Structure 1
């Protein structure tokens, strides 16, 4: 079993909060992680999966009885978004006997899960988002970074026996999301058009998000495009990275950039079937950029927020890490093995006044390339950020 970075954070929350919510896309490993947590808690536990008819009936019809007769146990409820009326009942039962680790609630793509649980369980629940397997986690079982970058971090896809099975898993995963989950979440367009929409998003991966351009390309309104991208974000399929522009007097680009969060999904949508096909593909540079950004964001200290930076006169930085209102780290990401820092990077650092600046490539080397700049690979970057107490792994 792959050890997950999130495990210790969740165990810490369970020592204080009555309920802990673990969020994430389908097949990311939430159930596996919950089962591991159950074995490590200092109290017995019981598990219900609301996708099973008998478990759904048990919980929905006998909520109070089940909970009161298992008051000494941690109750794990999987796919809890299928029974949203449960949350007000949980609040009453928690308040009747408030103690740590009473519930672990697992939920996948559902905007209503966060809203309903936040409304009902405010102050009683801590949330944790489980990402696909990270590079640092894959490295612990000796999966090469090149393989992880190509296949992405969904466990079954990453651990597939060969690239053919990886491709088949991706086909099934995207089909499930397109034909079932996304339509339930409110994307009310035909399946062929939704497939085209996802492929269009894959082609603007790493670019400034222009709703009108996407609208014109696939023939739906810009308002619908914006709403559908919000749904994809809530379903943990895409990430919108916002620009940093607080307290800066220059003309700043204020549109977000968009990324498909899992590079395995991205490469499938581009029909990149094996790692050798990736390096020569036009999407390779943007893919590497999104890959590095996702590995960093998922282990950031909660106090640190991620942004990018771009001005109308050419200053640009791929990732800026901000503590409060202070940029503390600038990260430029290049796929070239012999990159050169451009004027725009230097201008960005002058604007942002960051002391710690990193140029990240696949090769790296932890080599100073100019004052205030270190050239490193992904593993070296994570080590440096850990030393700076920017990340928690």
Structure 2
């Protein structure tokens, strides 16, 4: 289906953004570039004045008299890419402390530099939200008008769905403009070829445990460099790590996590997949499918203003369950399969997990690409378009 150009797709984060704007003088909306932060904020707070600090001339004008400018628009101001002028945060702090009716919306795509400024100047005064690319829920009927390969290939960037820009064009420009420019500047990378090799090797390792030593050998840089590059890609919302599940929280911090990307279209681009048809026989199709499902759970949590409560399970006998959701003492386990037909073997790992962990497992589900949904707490089966979240 083709959307009208520049159409706005409603976002689930709207509700939490509305609620928190009544409680906090400052709202921070962070997330990947091009995920729709500006569109959402301008649409929801249409009466607020808007500035974009990525524009150097505007930035220079404001920082010459920051207090006077901020006071002029203190009743409602959206500051886009706020990390470019962190010196404004201390002025905002003074204003919101003096005027309880002051309202500021800050957006930024670099979590590291933005949050560093927020924690220093606006701690306790700002509510922080994360907007990821469009979820399957947000796509609505579009998910039923596109087959699975199309959904994997197109990913979730609004420009693909709301403006009909081909996914490969969006991903190519995203990579060339933001990753190679912004990330390289943050890391001060001199050998771009090695960094390009690194990010493509990461793409080839999705849904597997991250091994810094192996990547260090392949890329030809030190393990600390690999760790630094990965941390910046995480802070820039390119990829994320899913930690392993342990009852002992300390072990979660030291064991290897699994690697996923925040958008499957960018992932396909990095893997050299040029069209939907190539996905059909691609050896990593199952891993890309797993990526989009895990990502849906992350999006659901962030859209409610919550931090993640998600893990994977693997023990010494190499028994693995793809996803575990922890809600207090209750655990919800999911096995993710890209197949269209269900087989009994899909639930073997879930049955094993029930024996190991016991009654704390309150639900086990297989998420797959088949048509038949069977809702059951004990080994239910659901199409990935119809995931029922435990909110």
Q: What number of residue pairs does the alignment pair up?
A: 374
Return the offset for 1:119: 2.1
Give 1:305's aligned residue: 309
Give 2:350's aligned residue: 345
Give 1:85's aligned residue: 87
Contact 1:212 1:222 in 2 (8 A): yes
Contact 2:335 2:347 in 1 (8 A): no
Return the offset for 1:156: 1.7
Return the offset for 1:251: 12
CA shift digits 1:57-84 (9 cap, x unpaired): 232122211222233x211101111001
Give 1:232's aligned residue: 233
Say whether residues 1:33 and 2:40 are aligned partners.
yes
Contact 1:304 1:322 in 2 (8 A): no
Shift >6 Å, 4+ stretches? 250-253
Return the offset for 1:180: 0.9
Instruction: Kindly report which structure 2 residues correspond to 1:192-341, keeping only aligned pairs within 5 A, or say none.
Output: 192-247=193-248, 254-300=255-301, 302=306, 305-324=309-328, 326-338=329-341, 339=343, 340-341=345-346
Q: Give ranges in structure 1 of 5+ residues lacking alignment.
A: none
CA shift digits 1:347-370 (9 cap, x unpaired): 12322331211101012422268x
CA shift digits 1:366-386 (9 cap, x unpaired): 2268x81101112322xx32x
- Aligned partner of residue 95 in structure 1, secondary structure: helix
The two structures have a TM-score, normalised by structure 1, of 0.89
Q: Rate the CA distance shift 1:304–1:207 in 2: closer, same or farther, 3 A.
A: closer
Give 1:372's aligned residue: 378
Contact 1:367 1:374 in 2 (8 A): yes
Q: Distance in 2 between matches of 1:277 and 1:297?
A: 27
Contact 1:332 1:358 in 2 (8 A): yes
Q: Rate the CA distance shift 1:8–1:251 in 2: closer, same or farther, 3 A.
A: closer
Q: Distance in 1 between matches of 2:258 and 2:156?
A: 21
Q: Distance in 2 between matches of 1:88 and 1:194?
A: 35
Say whether residues 1:157 and 2:164 are aligned partners.
no
CA RMSD of aligned residues (A): 2.3
Contact 1:242 1:255 in 2 (8 A): yes
Give 2:3's aligned residue: none
Q: Distance in 1 between matches of 2:198 and 2:175?
A: 12
Q: Rate the CA distance shift 1:216–1:198 in 2: closer, same or farther, 3 A.
A: same
Q: Give ranges in structure 2 of 5+ residues lacking alignment.
A: 1-7
Bigger RCO (CA 8 Å, 6+ sep):
2
Return the offset for 1:6: 0.7
Contact 2:367 2:381 in 1 (8 A): yes
